[in-house]
Structure 1
Amino acid sequence: MIQGSGIQGSTQQDLEEQEDNNERGKGDLEVPLFDFQTISIATNNFSLQNKLGQGGFGAVYKGILENGQEIAVKRLSKKSGQGIDEFKNEVLCISKLQHRNLVKLLGCCIEPHERLVIYEFMPNKSLDSFIFDEKQRILLDWPKRFQIINGIARGLLYLHQDSRLRIIHRDLKASNILLNYEMTPKISDFGLARSFGEDEIEANTTRVVGTYGYMSPEYAIDGLFSIKSDVFSFGVLVLEQCPKDRPDMATAVLILSSDNIPSLPQPKEPGYFATRIVHHNGDPSFSTNLSPPSNSLSITFPGPR
């Protein structure tokens, strides 16, 4: 046992290799680096009173730096399913992005057995703390909801089209939308994000990551992801259906910001009842021209009064 390190059964060679990897990791990151003691003091030694929440990555804590600046600290859990690759991916990805609807990265901390990401503090926590709470949700009137929807759409448009890198978030959900003092939405958590070249529009993976329920069918089933995968997740936040019916984010922003909103088409049958067909070119389509099964349910289509 090595005194003061809390490591059991480690050899000197193991420690030297870990430290070497640690230093090389620091050199890859073009962001401000904080030392662990500074962040520990700011968060009152990561006390429970300062804990803001818990995710797949680990716990998030509120902190106050010596200059009085409020921060949010994401601490990689030693038991986390997301490791150093996701940590570096998040830091490298978001450090190259600047938009009012993306959470701002202030820096990170890389020390033996500690990985921390430091963000701007968002006092109103995440969107799910409002929409899934009976008391909090009444605070979100329609103008406020519209403002949040519009902000998320603009943030996604920036990721998909206007940033230096084309970014697919791959884990867009209510808990990853943070809200500041003015309730301005900011997209966060880029640990699972993927960057695309200018000519790339989709990719395939055998490792499907993200959150079921917010995950598009073509991604969850076949591992196909594209900017439309994020559009599906966005649609879940504002209630939406099939890939062919999803607009791109430029269209969504145009519709949301226009005073003369065009007439919308009648809603189609839910995508859950459609049969999915994948063509040879990888493009999924949906067919509803099937005889209903013996245990089928009837669907009532609402109309205007």
Structure 2
Amino acid sequence: MGVCWSNRIKAESPYHTGSNSKNAMSDGISPSNLSSKSATVPPTPRSEGEILESSNLHNFPFNELKVATRNFRPDSVLGEGGFGSVFKGWIDENSLTAAKPGIGLVIAVKKHNQEGFQGHREWLAEINYLGQLQHPNLVKLIGYCLEDDHRLLVYECMPKGSMENHLFRRGSYFQPLSWSIRMKVALGAAKGLAFLHNAETKVIYRDFKTSNILLDSEFNAKLSDFGLARDGPTGDKSHVSTRVMGTFGYAAPEYLSTGHLTTKSDVFSFGVVLLEMLTGKRAIDKNRPSGEHNLVEWAKPYLTNKRRILRVMDIRLEGQYSLSQALGAGNLALQCLCMEPKIRPTMDDVVKALEQLQGLKDSVKGSQKDRHSNRHAKATEWAGYPRPSASPLYT
């Protein structure tokens, strides 16, 4: 049973990337060297201060979570992250008290590591956003524990783990996701972002990436990890100004250069993730040949050309989509990745486009000839360098 909890970048955590900590630090966006170009404004109420009274969450006693996780036994660990370790546990579904292993509701308990990358502000933001916002495409936060120096978060357990693992990990446990499942996940994640952007007080997610998309037993996508989320601009303001934080390869270029954060910043990140789903390649991978390290820069010229787009499509998807579907998805990714934020679609527009894409009835067989002509080239391409590095099972 897998659970994925994201790093927040200050630095990439090896728990989420499969890399060692030295390399992980180099992959992250560091606020200390990128925040000088942005004016920092006071944090929003949901990211600093106290737990909001309206949070619909259960306050767990620490001893209850010790029992639920069998005293945080090492063999209960689901993974490691910048915040700390994630443990598997069981609670009674009605009383929310600790239950025997294998009985009751399966939970994932994230236990704060005081020496980790993340601190009280991120922990509090997670509680105050997920405590107020409920949607089928947001992971459910059941409760928290704040007792002495202990800070813990209790979530529903997501059996299929993260989208990142299913895209990039190789092994018998992680079979390649089909075209239909990838588009289902993309649509679900898009609906989650659209919900945040349409909330009474707009929410900018700020760290959208494949490791933050969790999958339930039916491959329904749910967004997790709200530690970097921010309330959007209000009144006549067009943006919020903040320290540059996020994950290298996913952050919008205007946000990197100015610190100006808008909902269109999330749209750009969605475009990167959609491109990863189409290609089966990571946003940044220095193991690829020169000129292909940055997925967006390399793939953009191919996305709207019916003769070339098949060259960037994941070979594991061969025979599962029509040329029209590939072009439609590629064009949508290209729109999201537009350098001019105002020209990017809204997430509502993205949802509509993905729904239309799923409704395409073009014959997949009609594209077989074009795919076959590219088969040898794709195989040669993969043979030229290592496949993307694996991630831990539970991330």
Q: TM-score range by the shorter chain?
A: 0.7 to 0.9
- Corresponding position of 1:286: none
SS of equivalent residue, structure 1 residue 208: coil
- Aligned residue for 1:151? 188
Paired residue for 2:347, among 234, 249, 266? 249
Which secondary structure does the structure 2 equivalent of 1:238 belong to?
A: helix
The CA distance in 1 between the partners of 2:84 and 2:238, in whole Å, is 31
Runs (4 or more) in structure 1 with deviation over 4 Å come to 24-29
1:62-211 superposed matches below 5 A: 62-65=88-91, 66-67=98-99, 68-135=104-171, 138-161=175-198, 163-196=199-232, 198-199=234-235, 200-205=237-242, 207-211=243-247
- How far apart are 1:198 and its partner, in Å? 4.8
Deviation string, structure 1 residues 205-258 (Cα, Å, up to 9, x no partner): 2x2111111111111222121111111111111124333353110110111112
Give, in whole Å, the separation in 2 of the partners of 1:186 and 1:117. 17
- The Cα offsets for residues 138-167 of structure 1, whole Å up to 9 and x where unpaired, read as 441001111000000000000001x23211
Higher Cα radius of gyration? 1
Give the match for residue 57 of structure 1: 83
> More deviation in 225-234 or 196-205?
196-205
- The aligned residue for residue 20 of structure 1 is none
- One-letter amino acid of the counterpart of residue 50, structure 1: S
Question: Normalization by structure 1: what TM-score?
Answer: 0.72
- Higher relative CO (Cα under 8 Å, sequence separation at least 6) belongs to 2
Residues 98-137 of structure 1: CA deviation (Å, up to 9, x unaligned): 1100001101000111111111111111111111112355
Whose helix fraction is larger, Structure 1's or Structure 2's?
Answer: 2
SS in 2 for 1:155: helix
- Check whether the contact 2:54–2:132 (CA below 8 A) recurs between aligned residues: no
Partner of 2:59: helix, strand, or coil? coil
Which residue number in structure 2 is paired with residue 273 of structure 1? none
Q: Distance in 1 between matches of 2:75 and 2:255?
A: 38
How far did residue 58 of structure 1 move? 1.8
Distance in structure 1 (CA, Å) of the matches to 2:114 and 2:72: 15
The answer for unaligned runs of 5 or more in structure 1 is: 1-23, 262-305
CA distance in 2, matches of 1:43, 1:243: 47
Native 8 Å contact 2:52 2:128 kept in 1: no
TM-score (norm 2): 0.56
Amino acid at match of 2:274: V
Q: Is the 8 A contact 2:233 2:239 kept in 1?
A: no
What residue identity is the alignment partner of 2:170? E
The answer to whether the 8 A contact 2:194-2:348 is kept is yes
Which protein is richer in strand relative to its size? 1
C-alpha separation in 2, matches of 1:69 and 1:231: 35
